[in-house]
């Protein structure tokens, strides 16, 4: 096992060409939509990283780049120091085996015509990880590990509850003995009680099996519970990153502060909400992308774009006028 | 098209005090809504079992519980979308000035629905009709329910859209729902619900599909608008922390039975029912080290089950819990239905 990071993103940019409105079909100008703009991230072995942001912040595009489903238009996306897009042969097989994905829509990601046994065994068969005779035992062990009774094996997706489905999706992800789990909103849309069970399961798995975890979420509470590190995204950029506890205790970026204030907390008065919505990523104004909604914006915010700069070994943020973050900020 | 909405900041800061401040309940004689021993059955299943709560004028109430607790069923009953004889209904729903609406037929409901009681549905993108413009969907009730002329309805529609924080309201009237973001669709739904000045607004998980920052905007908007009109609001929620922020009173439901109800500050600060406590234990705060999840399980709705429906999942079960249903009794500032409560 090397100590090199599992994933490394070097200034990854992903731009889409979209057609502008107006004009005729042929004269219509093409405009660039930058879904990701200079993202720099790494995931070390055994580490858990949360990617947090609102819809439209580029979380899903980031995920597609990491899984090699989309090629970045600029910058490099590396898996164990090799470009994800160029993986071929055994490297590609290893990548597919080592990186397991838990999708947001568990019901949609599982084939309704396959039994739970076949669903969980599919990665085993694909990677030829066990003999035919062992197949059933391996699935039994996986189902037990995620807290499902082995009798579930003969069931179909339509007969499972939301929580059971997530467990099947997790068992399926674990089947290929991955070293990294990538989860996209794996607990959204569940009851709090079921969410708590799944989160506990994921944390236990991560700790016991030494897995790396990349968890995409919009819920800061989930990020705090599950992940050592956090990266907050806004409009295709990482605006703040660092150790989760430190960041949430005293965020430096006003956007992180706003997200924190908007999260429901017991008996706290409802905060002054952040004005407006995430603007369109097409034709962004110059300067900081958040300036238009920021309460601390000053004139230079509209002209100069801040870069993600490290402030301490465990903290980095992209803001010209950050909040005081060395001591817990007054609330 | 992703709409630009940078300037949609409402003059929300003009609100004098923090919304967290509660209006002290006035010892008013008659509540706006009084639900007593409401039971709803479908065939052999008893979906709601003796639900009792009341709501004062200007108050906010939260219905809380996991899916299958009967929260949305109560909301649908309160707006007359679940009625006799489609379902078996017993008990009373006293709406001030309209009598017992549990007995009302569709004719009576046509006069109440929209005018006295309005609803904000969970999924705005599904509740708005994709074939009609926002303007048409907003102006139809204004013309039919409020009897406004075409031009008056248009003016009122623009006013309403502005009041819910949509900028550029006149041009939004000709937009179709798909041209708006989720947050804006939810605002349009709120505008439609508020268009006829209802006394009672039902908000069924109004923000569950939205980002937290938009959620804060929407909840604030609903509270501001209901307060300004001194109307009342019932929130259907599953987030206890959010309920503590926006509801004066809460009703915690499990399997169609009321487990615990009372002022949210009292109930949520020190829950006495094991179920309320368990739900609270599932809420993540930023410093949560360990979660204590409830064991899995779903309630049985068989009408013949005699005891507390939460008993099979409860950690404090006594023998009599499965045998007989605990009555809803006044204990320390709240109403509680439990044989073995936490102290």
Enter the ipTM: 0.85
> Based on the domain organization, do B164 and B43 belong to the same domain?
yes
Residues of chain A above pLDDT 90, percent: 69
CA distance A207 to A191: 24
Expressed as residue numbers, the domain containing B311 is: 265-336
In this structure, the number of other CB atoms found within 10 A of the CB of residue A207 comes to 12
Last residue of a domain, one of B262, B282, B303: B262
pLDDT of B16 higher than 70: no
* pLDDT interval class at B92 (50, 70, 90): very high
Read off the CATH number of the domain in which B55 is found.
Answer: 3.40.50.300
For residue B44, being part of any structural domain is answered with yes
Please name the helix (run of DSSP H) or strand (run of DSSP E) that holds residue B319, with its range, or none. Answer: helix B319-323
pLDDT of B10 higher than 80: no
Round the average pLDDT of chain A to a whole number and report it: 89
A194 close contact with B: CB closer than 8 A:
yes
> Based on the domain organization, do B245 and B286 belong to the same domain?
no
Where helices occur in chain A by DSSP H, the ranges are 59-66, 89-98, 106-109, 116-126, 135-145, 162-175, 192-209, 220-226, 244-249, 254-262
For residue B90, being part of any structural domain is answered with yes
- Number of domains chain B contains: 2
Question: Cα dist. A24→A19, A20, A71, B166 in Å?
Answer: 11, 10, 30, 31
How confident is the model at residue B20, as a pLDDT?
44
pLDDT of B246 higher than 70: yes
Tokens encoding A98: 């080592």
> Based on the domain organization, do B39 and B148 belong to the same domain?
yes
Residues of chain B found within 8 Å of residue A292, distances taken between Cβ atoms: 6
For residue B270, being part of any structural domain is answered with yes
- Which CATH number is A7-317 given? 3.40.50.300
pLDDT of B17 higher than 50: no
Neighbouring C-alpha atoms within 13 Å toward the C-beta of A235:
20
Per-residue pLDDT, averaged over B305-327, amounts to 92
Q: Which B positions 228-287 lie with beta carbon below 8 A of chain A?
A: 238-242, 244-246, 265, 268-269, 278-279, 281-287
| Structure confidence by residue, pLDDT tens digits, B259-279 | 999 999 999 999 999 999 999
For residue B20, being part of any structural domain is answered with no
How confident is the model at residue B2, as a pLDDT?
42
For residue B27, being part of any structural domain is answered with no
- Give the one of A56, A189, A192 whose C-beta lies nearest to B283's C-beta: A192
> Based on the domain organization, do B257 and B269 belong to the same domain?
no
Last residue of a domain, one of B262, B277, B304: B262
Q: Max alpha carbon distance in chain A (Å)?
A: 69
* pLDDT interval class at A328 (50, 70, 90): very low
How confident is the model at residue B290, as a pLDDT?
84
How confident is the model at residue B209, as a pLDDT?
76
How confident is the model at residue B165, as a pLDDT?
82
* pLDDT interval class at B11 (50, 70, 90): very low
Q: Is B184 close to A261, i.e. CB distance below 8 A?
A: no
| Structure confidence by residue, pLDDT tens digits, A16-38 | 888 766 666 666 677 888 899 99
Last residue of a domain, one of B239, B262, B285: B262
| Structure confidence by residue, pLDDT tens digits, A191-247 | 888 999 999 999 999 999 999 999 999 899 999 999 999 999 999 999 999 999 999
- Give the one of B220, B265, B284 whose C-beta lies nearest to A270's C-beta: B220
pLDDT of B56 higher than 50: yes
Q: What's the whole-model pTM score?
A: 0.87
For residue B25, being part of any structural domain is answered with no
pLDDT of B53 higher than 90: yes
Contact partners, residue A232, CB within 8 Å, separation at least 6: A52, A53, A238, A239, A240, A241, A247, A253, A255, A256, A259
How confident is the model at residue A330, as a pLDDT?
43
> Based on the domain organization, do B112 and B182 belong to the same domain?
yes
């Amino acid at each position: 096992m090397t100590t090199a990071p599992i994933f490394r993103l070097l200034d990854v940019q992903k731009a889409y060409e979209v057609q502008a409105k107006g004009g005729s079909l042929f004269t219509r100008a093409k405009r660039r939509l930058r879904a990701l703009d200079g993202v720099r991230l790494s995931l070390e072995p055994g580490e858990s990283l949360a990617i947090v942001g609102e819809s439209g912040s580029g979380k899903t595009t980031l995920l597609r780049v990491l899984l090699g489903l989309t090629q970045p238009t600029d910058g490099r996306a590396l898996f164990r120091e090799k470009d994800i897009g160029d993986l071929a042969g055994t490297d590609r097989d290893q990548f597919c085996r080592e990186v397991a994905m838990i999708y947001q829509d568990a019901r949609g990601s599982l084939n309704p015509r396959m039994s739970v046994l076949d669903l969980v065994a599919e990665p085993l068969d694909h990677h030829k990880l066990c003999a035919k005779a062992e197949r059933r035992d391996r699935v039994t062990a996986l189902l037990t590990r995620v807290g499902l009774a082995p009798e579930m094996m003969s069931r179909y997706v339509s007969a499972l509850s939301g929580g059971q489905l997530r467990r099947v999706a997790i068992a399926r992800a674990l089947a290929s003995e991955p070293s990294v789990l990538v989860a996209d909103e794996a607990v959204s849309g569940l009851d709090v009680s079921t969410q708590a069970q799944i989160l506990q399961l994921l944390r236990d798995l991560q700790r016991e099996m030494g897995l790396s975890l990349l968890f995409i979420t919009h819920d800061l509470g989930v990020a705090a519970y599950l992940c050592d590190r956090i990266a907050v995204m806004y409009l295709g950029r990482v605006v703040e990153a660092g150790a989760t506890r430190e960041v949430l205790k005293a965020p430096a970026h006003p956007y992180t502060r706003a997200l924190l204030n908007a999260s429901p907390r017991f008996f706290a008065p409802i905060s002054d909400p952040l004005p407006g919505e995430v603007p369109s990523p097409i034709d962004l104004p110059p300067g900081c992308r958040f300036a238009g909604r920021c309460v601390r914006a000053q004139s230079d915010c509209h002209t100069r774009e801040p870069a993600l700069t490290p402030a301490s070994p465990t903290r980095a943020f992209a803001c010209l006028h950050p909040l005081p973050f060395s001591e817990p900020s007054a609330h | 098209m992703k709409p630009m909405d940078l300037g949609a900041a409402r003059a929300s800061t003009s609100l004098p005090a923090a919304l967290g401040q509660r209006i002290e309940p006035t010892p008013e004689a008659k509540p706006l809504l009084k639900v007593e021993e409401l039971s709803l059955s479908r065939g052999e299943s008893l979906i709601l079992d003796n639900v009792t709560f009341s709501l004062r004028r200007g108050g906010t109430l939260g219905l809380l519980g996991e899916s299958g607790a009967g929260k949305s069923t109560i909301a649908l009953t309160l707006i007359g979308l679940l009625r006799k004889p489609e379902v078996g209904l017993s008990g009373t729903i006293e709406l001030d000035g309209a009598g017992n609406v549990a007995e009302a037929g569709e004719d009576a409901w046509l006069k109440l629905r929209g005018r006295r009681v309005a609803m904000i549905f969970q999924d705005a993108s599904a509740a708005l009709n994709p074939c009609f413009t926002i303007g048409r969907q907003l102006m139809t009730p204004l013309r039919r329910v409020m009897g406004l002329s075409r031009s008056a309805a248009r003016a009122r529609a623009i006013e309403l859209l502005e009041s819910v924080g949509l900028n550029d309201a006149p041009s939004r009237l000709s937009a179709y729902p798909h041209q708006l973001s989720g947050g804006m669709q939810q605002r349009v739904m709120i505008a439609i619900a508020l268009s006829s000045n209802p006394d009672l607004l039902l908000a069924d998980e109004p923000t569950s599909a939205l980002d937290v920052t938009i959620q804060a905007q929407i909840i604030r908007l609903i509270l501001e608008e209901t307060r300004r009109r001194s109307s009342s609001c019932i929130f259907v929620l599953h987030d206890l922390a959010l309920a503590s922020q926006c509801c004066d009173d809460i009703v915690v439901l499990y399997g169609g039975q009321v487990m615990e109800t009372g002022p949210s500050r009292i109930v949520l600060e020190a829950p006495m029912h094991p179920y309320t406590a368990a739900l609270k234990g599932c809420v993540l705060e930023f410093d949560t080290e360990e979660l204590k999840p409830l064991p899995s399980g779903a309630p049985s709705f068989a009408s013949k089950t005699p005891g507390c429906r939460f008993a099979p999942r409860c950690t404090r079960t006594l023998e009599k819990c499965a045998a007989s249903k605990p009555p809803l009794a006044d204990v320390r500032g709240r109403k509680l239905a439990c044989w073995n409560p936490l102290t």
